Amino acid sequence: MARGRASGYESQRELILAQAAALFARQGYAGTSMNEVAKASGISKPALYHYVRDKQELAATIAQEHVARLEAVVHDVGRLKLDPEPRLRELILRFVAEYAHAQDAHRVLTEDVRYLDAEERARVLGAERRVVDAFADAVAAVRPGASAAALDKPLAMLLFGMINWMFTWIKPEGRLSYDDMAPVVCDLFFGGVGAVQLSQSGRRAHSTIVA
């Protein structure tokens, strides 16, 4: 009979992932060793390999679980059946809140996916594209005509440009928090999206956006 996992396995695994994400975010994937991950997690290196196969699996798991949480946010908001503007506003607020508690994992997702093998990278990027597509759909619902003008996804990417990199300048000891800035992002986007001239975008209709 197969041996069951020891009590505390999942909590130890979560600790390992959190410590690895923090190290990758601070030192970079290439600059972090499995010895450092083991030490930060309070276990021996041999014990570490009971939880993960190698460093690449660590990065892949961190990225996959983070983007899976983002997809879950999209699905949760979808189930609310909100009107277009409240739907997009809720997506923005929830994404900013998610990023506030996952800064290290988000940095791994944005900077370390290139180190994954082709299959793992494709899996992560596929999930990212689904998230971007959901935002593009929400933008198009708020601004009819954006999709026909091939601006729904570019507008979504500009929105992500506001929220994806907040971790680079919002500091824990600073005057402004993620909670402070989330409604500002909403107001800034909704205040400006209506001013976009869709009729001028035809020459860009064939451009490609890759998440």
% of the chain surpassing 90 pLDDT: 77
Q: Per the domain annotation, does 35 fall within a domain?
A: no
Give the number of domains in the chain.
1
Q: Is-contact 155 139, C-beta < 8 A?
A: yes
pLDDT on residue 132:
96
List, for residues 82-125, the tens digit of each pLDDT value: 999 999 999 999 999 999 989 999 999 999 999 999 999 999 99
Q: Averaged over 18-35, what is the pLDDT?
A: 96
Mean predicted lDDT score pLDDT of the chain: 89
pLDDT over 90 at 50, yes or no: yes
**Residue 50, Cβ density class (10 Å: 0-12 exposed, 13-18 middle, ≥19 buried):** middle
Q: Which of 58, 210, 39, 196 is nearest to 120 (CA)?
A: 58
Which residue bears the tokens 């370390």?
A: 112
Q: Is-contact 109 59, C-beta < 8 A?
A: no
Q: Per the domain annotation, does 98 fall within a domain?
A: yes
pLDDT band at 210 (very low <50, low <70, confident <90, very high): very low
The CATH number of the domain holding residue 181 is 1.10.357.10
List, for residues 155-192, the tens digit of each pLDDT value: 999 999 999 888 888 887 888 899 999 999 999 999 98
Q: Per the domain annotation, does 59 fall within a domain?
A: yes
pLDDT band at 6 (very low <50, low <70, confident <90, very high): low
pTM (predicted TM-score): 0.85
Q: Per the domain annotation, does 97 fall within a domain?
A: yes
Amino acid code (one letter) for 37: V
Q: Per the domain annotation, does 90 fall within a domain?
A: yes
pLDDT on residue 200:
54
Q: Averaged over 14-18, what is the pLDDT?
A: 97
Q: Is-contact 41 16, C-beta < 8 A?
A: yes
pLDDT on residue 171:
83
Q: Per the domain annotation, does 9 fall within a domain?
A: no
Q: Which of 64, 58, 56, 57 is nearest to 40 (CA)?
A: 58
pLDDT over 60 at 45, yes or no: yes
Give me the helix-helix angle, 118-142 and 178-193, nearest 10°.
60
Structure-token pair, residue 22: 């923090």
Q: Per the domain annotation, does 101 fall within a domain?
A: yes
Domain of 133 in residue numbering reads as: 55-196
Give me the helix-helix angle, 55-78 and 84-100, nearest 10°.
150
Higher pLDDT, 79 or 170: 79
pLDDT over 70 at 5, yes or no: no
Higher pLDDT, 176 or 69: 69
Q: Per the domain annotation, does 28 fall within a domain?
A: no
DSSP letter for each residue of 85-122: HHHHHHHHHHHHHHHHT-HHHHHHHHHSGGGS-HHHHH
pLDDT on residue 209:
41
